[in-house]
Structure 1
């Protein structure tokens, strides 16, 4: 008696391969998880770098429009902290300013620069080989108006 075509036996080359899919999944699943963790880490660092860069640019601009170095320091620090908070980056930043441009006499070109450093937490990603944190530093310069009075 012949079997209907739907009940034909698998060719010999496919017999015994039923467990291969489980083994392949067991090997590939951790690699996929590591790949996704790497993507998440890269995206978080890219977002942090953009936020820190914007904070440095804002701090330099605020320092450049201030009248005195003291006002520049206060305005730049406040601006950097506000920008990082608005961008949703949770870190304790360090703002370093170069205010030497304020020492230039009126009529001479001068500039100020702001360097913002922020440590980004990565520990919550929890994948092997990914560090617990990464430090991101960005610097921006902004020119001082050469004909504006400086105190």
Structure 2
């Protein structure tokens, strides 16, 4: 089933923070996330002066409900590739639901030629991939 915008009912939320010491960006999405919301979140990060010095990223999609088609995921990747000035970031994405995992896998297939991007269901596996100690507290926003 392809999720559509007509199904949107949970407010989209997004937060990010940068840990300069670990050269890490942490981002989290919550609620119904559409293509335009994703694009705006990317532009916000890309315009942060600290973004260019980062080496690692973790994207938490465990509370997200992605309202994107496979075509929109590919469009999102092309958008990121055109606007991201730091393709050296190694990304770990945390997913929970089957649809979000499938969409992240489509993104991963696009990303493999350009930068490190892997999908995980546990924070421990993400930590090992990034070679950075991470806890659930790291993923909290105040």
Range class of TM-score, shorter chain:
under 0.3
Name the one with the larger strand percent: 2
Q: Which has the larger radius of gyration?
A: 1
Calculate the TM-score normalised by the size of structure 1.
0.24
Name the one with the larger helix percent: 1
